[in-house]
Amino acid sequence: MKLALTSSECQSGPVAGCGESLPKSLDRQPRYAASVPVMFAALGRFVTRFRWYVIAAWVLVAVVVGASAPALESTQDNSEFLPDHYESIQALQLQEDKFSDAFSPGAILVIERKDGEELTAGDQAKAAEIGQALAPTLGEKTFQRLVITQDETGAPNLSEDGSVLFGIVPLADGASGYDPKAFDDAEDMREEIKDLNEGTDLEIRTTGAVPQGLDSQESSESTLLIVGVATVVLIVGLLALIFRSVLICLLPIVVVALVSTIATGAIAWANDIFDLKADSSVQQILIVVLYGVGTDYILFFLFRHRERMRQGAAVRDSVVHSLDRAGEAIASAGGAVIVAFMALILSSLSIFRAIGPALAIAVFVTLIAALTLVPAIVSLLGKALFWPSKSWQKEPKHGTFIKLGRLVGQRPGLTALASGGAMTVLALFALSFNPSFDFNSSLPEGVESTEAMTTFQENFSAGAAEPVPVLVDAEGADVTPEELEAFKTALGEAKGVDQVAGPLPSEDGTAYQYYLTLHDDPVSDKAQDNVEGPIRDAAHDAAPEGTEAFVGGTPGIFADMSKAMARDYKVVFPVAAGVIMLILALLLRSLVAPWFLMAAVGLGFAATLGTTVIAFQHIGGESGLIFMLPIYIYLFVTALGTDYNILMIARLREEAREGRDPHDAAAQAVTHAGPTIAAAGVILAGTFASLMLGGNTLIVSMGFALAVGILIVSFVMSMFFTPALTSLLGHAAWWPGHADVAKEPGKSHPDGVDLTK
């Protein structure tokens, strides 16, 4: 079966199979067409022929998945992200095995007078009465419901000036402070305290692990709504400016709504089946990925479709042609992103092992929709897709991009030097990146747990909020009281330790537990550094002979996560880069191009991190940036930057196959692919920038980094650096396949049509 007849054949007279004669504007067929795989053209013909069935199938799958898939849940328990061989997890396991009734603070009550004056004896008595009156049955699965007036670690419960009192609400035996039930119980406890405190002169606020988790969850839900609304408004607004079409503005909304339902359900199933742990930021990132990537792929197709329609093609012919030309680039770009995401299964942190497959699933579903659902809808709508605009029928002058194309084509050396130099300067600042594990900074200001923790830390030892457990495994060892006391002394002399409580022996006498009150907030970077360095060194060196000591707690977990991240950088990044290079080599039939394309993407990654360091550490005065930031930059800037590189290099190859020299091909590629990359980059950067409305440092820094990164890789790397380098290398860039060379005249298309006449 023939794909299509040439216009010269159709114009020679009535020929069976011509259907609609092609306009003269379409008579110029690319000389390389014979080498283009027919798979995407065949897919285009299938989708346009059975468009109603394709659309109905997507709707049906979305309904079924939405009705049957489990809810997508996340965890905030950082210990769930680490493998068992890390010291903090070994400490936790020993504590669970030997000290099932161990003291574990779930919440802290911070009590002070409303007028800020010193607490009277009556105030303290009233506080104790409120503590005793807390209903024992309310949330009994989470809390023991006992406000401790003297902290079990020995820390004073009354501030030096007598103005602030604190109490501890321990977790019940076997309870987790990170499940939804715990957050519900914390919310109920706040309501009950409010009722019990009514009519008094006291102000009682809750903070600590569970209340902070509750406020973080509520903040995430608020952020999710803000990000979702901002993303939709931004995409609709930008598409309106670009296409001036109502239906095109609605197209990503409709497509992503279906894709989101299917992808979220598939991710939830995968998490259940493989016991993956996703953190609370997954759903926020998922919205941005679905809308951002989905809109990008839709734009890749629509720009090509509009270009073909302007040449006078019929709607169905244009859809087939556009999918034939853009389909390979879209599939390759999507494949590169999926590979980059899936590489995270090699991470030692389950947070990334979960988010990698989750985002890969989302991109896969989006990719399939871009190749099937979108063409089906476009073929169904026909020319009405562009309503009410009529300007789509006229070829825009692209004055700006013509000038940029000429600059790249005529001065490739200067262009490469300027764009590459700018990214290199920014990349140098990445060397001063300081990873931070301070998750408290991710809580928005003004919430109860943040205000209460600030008051607590101003009046008490910051470490009293969460004592750090030190476990001694004495199985098979004969340990004397003197050795245990000497161990305690050594711990107390370690840098960063204010006080040591213990030892508490296990029931069978084979383990001992100490509690450290640190000088710094347990979630701070200083506490992490001290635990990883002097505290663990002291514990390991002073452990009685025949025993083994483990330092756990939140700072221990963060210290181990830092080591795990360092390991992941050495494993995940190289593996992902290698597989993406393989995809590029197969797409471009070249062993040279993948190297400089990946080098460009790597430079874009470093420039993005450096720019964020400048903005937040050097200008904003932050001591560090959240430790996960490089991974997220890798996920989106590197992976999606490869998308834009693929789109540009594919167009450049197309122009070269038309017989243009490397400089002219680069100029034409920027002229024609530039508007698509610019539009896609602005929309995707805007969707990531919407994360900055989240209101906390973690999300704001992430939104800034990803938005700036997309702008760098789209406007600096893909628009200038990549085509300039390709132009400089010329024919050598395509070695050994030399896919830039036009096929010899007379070669026929696999379907039998000579497209080189």
Which is more confident, 575 or 428? 428
The string over 560-572, giving b where at least 16 C-beta atoms fall within 10 Å of a residue's C-beta and e elsewhere, is: bbbebbeebeeeb
> Which of the four pLDDT bands, split at 50, 70 and 90, describes residue 536?
very high
Alpha helices in 658-739 (DSSP H): 662-689, 697-711, 722-729
Phi first, then psi: what are they for 500, rounded to 5°? -125, 130
Mean pLDDT across 388-395: 74
Joined together, the tokens standing for residue 26 give 């379409």
Q: Lowest mean pLDDT of 135-144, 334-343, 496-505, 692-701, name the range.
A: 135-144
pLDDT score of 251 more than 60: yes
| 140: Cα within 13 Å, side-chain hemisphere | 4
Which is more confident, 157 or 430? 430
Joined together, the tokens standing for residue 34 give 């014979």
pLDDT score of 30 more than 70: no
Instruction: Check residue 11 and give its pLDDT.
Output: 35
Beta carbons of 392 and 386 less than 8 angstroms apart: yes
430 DSSP assignment: G
Phi first, then psi: what are they for 148, rounded to 5°? -80, 120
Alpha helices in 75-176 (DSSP H): 87-98, 121-133
Instruction: Check residue 551 and give its pLDDT.
Output: 94
- DSSP-assigned states of every residue in 624-660: -EETTHHHHHIIIIIHHHHHHHHHHHHHHHHHHHTT-
Strand partners, 207: 108
Are domains 82-86+457-556 and 97-207 of this chain identical in fold?
A: yes
pLDDT score of 687 more than 80: no
Q: Lowest mean pLDDT of 175-189, 195-209, 522-536, 679-693, name the range.
A: 175-189
Instruction: Check residue 63 and give its pLDDT.
Output: 94
514's enclosing H/E stretch is: strand 511-518
Strands 625-626 and 435-436: parallel
pLDDT score of 179 more than 90: no
Instruction: Check residue 22 and give its pLDDT.
Output: 42
Beta carbons of 434 and 623 less than 8 angstroms apart: yes
Q: How far is CA 621 from the centre of its chain?
A: 24
% of the chain with per-residue pLDDT over 90: 25
pLDDT score of 488 more than 50: yes
751 DSSP assignment: T
User: How many Cβ atoms are within 10 Å of 67's Cβ, its own excluded?
Assistant: 9
pLDDT single digits (tens) 116-167: 888 888 888 888 888 777 755 544 555 655 554 544 444 447 888 889 988 8
pLDDT score of 731 more than 90: no
pLDDT score of 105 more than 80: no
pLDDT single digits (tens) 198-243: 888 899 998 887 888 788 777 766 766 777 787 788 888 888 888 8
pLDDT score of 359 more than 80: yes
| Residue 95 to residue 101: CA distance in whole angstroms | 9
Instruction: Check residue 328 and give its pLDDT.
Output: 81
Mean pLDDT across 420-445: 82
Instruction: Check residue 18 and give its pLDDT.
Output: 39
Is 366 exposed, middle or buried (CB count within 10 Å of its CB: 0-12, 13-18, 19+)? buried
Mean pLDDT across 475-486: 90
| Residue 595 to residue 233: CA distance in whole angstroms | 38
Please choose, from the candidates 165, 228, 744, the residue with its C-alpha nearest in 3D space to the C-alpha of residue 459. Answer: 165
Which is more confident, 744 or 358? 358
> Which of the four pLDDT bands, split at 50, 70 and 90, describes residue 494?
very high
CATH 1.10.1370.30 fits 97-207, yes or no: no
Q: Lowest mean pLDDT of 173-182, 406-415, 745-754, name the range.
A: 745-754
550 DSSP assignment: E
| Residue 279 to residue 212: CA distance in whole angstroms | 15
Which is more confident, 750 or 85? 85
Instruction: Check residue 178 and give its pLDDT.
Output: 59
| Residue 718 to residue 636: CA distance in whole angstroms | 15
Which is more confident, 180 or 562? 562
Mean pLDDT across 262-290: 75
Instruction: Check residue 719 and give its pLDDT.
Output: 92
| Residue 135 to residue 146: CA distance in whole angstroms | 10
Alpha helices in 382-479 (DSSP H): 399-410, 412-428, 448-459
> Which of the four pLDDT bands, split at 50, 70 and 90, describes residue 455?
confident
> Which of the four pLDDT bands, split at 50, 70 and 90, describes residue 352?
confident
pLDDT score of 402 more than 80: yes
Instruction: Check residue 84 and give its pLDDT.
Output: 81
pLDDT score of 6 more than 50: no
Q: Lowest mean pLDDT of 7-11, 65-69, 272-276, 738-742, name the range.
A: 7-11
Mean pLDDT across 693-714: 83
- What distance, in Å, lies between the first and last C-alpha atoms of the chain? 19
Please state, rounded to an integer, the average pLDDT across all residues of the chain. 80
pLDDT score of 518 more than 80: yes
CATH code for the structural domain at 35-58+219-396: 1.20.1640.10
pLDDT single digits (tens) 38-87: 788 899 999 999 999 999 999 999 999 988 888 766 555 555 567 788 89
pTM of the model: 0.74
pLDDT score of 582 more than 50: yes
Domain extent listing, the chain: 1-30, 35-58+219-396, 82-86+457-556, 97-207
Secondary structure class of 327 (helix, strand, coil): helix
Q: Lowest mean pLDDT of 37-41, 85-89, 369-373, name the range.
A: 37-41
CATH code for the structural domain at 82-86+457-556: 3.30.70.100
Mean pLDDT across 487-508: 91
Mean pLDDT across 717-742: 86
Beta carbons of 369 and 258 less than 8 angstroms apart: yes
> Which of the four pLDDT bands, split at 50, 70 and 90, describes residue 751?
very low
Q: Which residue has the tokens 């000290």?
A: 99
Joined together, the tokens standing for residue 535 give 């505290």
Joined together, the tokens standing for residue 51 give 């468009």
- DSSP-assigned states of every residue in 147-208: -BSS-TT---SB-TTS-EEEEEEEBPTT--TTSHHHHHHHHHHHHHHHHHTTTSSEEEEEES
Phi first, then psi: what are they for 124, rounded to 5°? -65, -35
> Which of the four pLDDT bands, split at 50, 70 and 90, describes residue 604?
very high
Q: Lowest mean pLDDT of 169-183, 319-333, 388-402, name the range.
A: 169-183
| Residue 380 to residue 357: CA distance in whole angstroms | 33
Instruction: Check residue 221 and give its pLDDT.
Output: 67
Joined together, the tokens standing for residue 10 give 């159709």
Instruction: Check residue 177 and give its pLDDT.
Output: 57
Beta carbons of 640 and 710 less than 8 angstroms apart: yes
Instruction: Check residue 682 and give its pLDDT.
Output: 86
